[in-house]
Amino acid sequence: MTKLKSLNFVEPQAPAKSNPFDNAKRNLVTNLNRQLAAANAMVKGETYTEARSEYVEGSDGQRTKQEIQKPIRKWYWRDYDGKVRFSLRVRNKAVEIEKGKTDILIGEDKQLPNAITLLIEAVSAGELDTQIKNHIAK
């Protein structure tokens, strides 16, 4: 019992709840890295997929869990002029960067990875904190 005397016993306490802003910012950086990988694959002419676990029904009627390669939902697209546009998304909704503006005009395909890298750096540096907080508050 003398070894236990060296420990400091206290009342139980619930774990600290995570901040919604910190969660949104962390998820945004994670998703931007996924978009960057997809953009790099697009520039190379390849398709980007990620492994996901899904239950698949076999020929014998049994459902088994299998890894399936699926494409991600891209945050970039071509507009009417054929130029690439990008939209930052938090909680699956476009973030308003400036008043009334959610799209970023990229232009050519090969410029997209550089733009996404710049966005990752901006989010990590806290340059978009106000926009993310306003988006979460809505």
Domain tally, the chain: 1
The residue behind tokens 């869990």 is 65
Domain presence at residue 67: no
Domain presence at residue 90: yes
Residue-level pLDDT at 47: 92
CA–CA dist 52, 71 (Å, integer): 10
CA–CA dist 105, 115 (Å, integer): 10
Q: How far is CA 134 from the centre of its chain?
A: 18
Domain presence at residue 52: no
CB 93 within 8 A of CB 132: no
Domain presence at residue 13: no
Domain presence at residue 62: no
Flag whether pLDDT at 133 surpasses 70: yes
Rounded to 5 degrees, what are φ and ψ at 17?
-80, 145
* pTM listed for this prediction: 0.80
Range of the domain at 130: 19-47+73-137
Q: Please state the rounded mean pLDDT for residues 20-34.
A: 94
Flag whether pLDDT at 80 surpasses 70: yes
Domain presence at residue 96: yes
Using 50, 70 and 90 to split pLDDT, how confident is the model at 60? confident
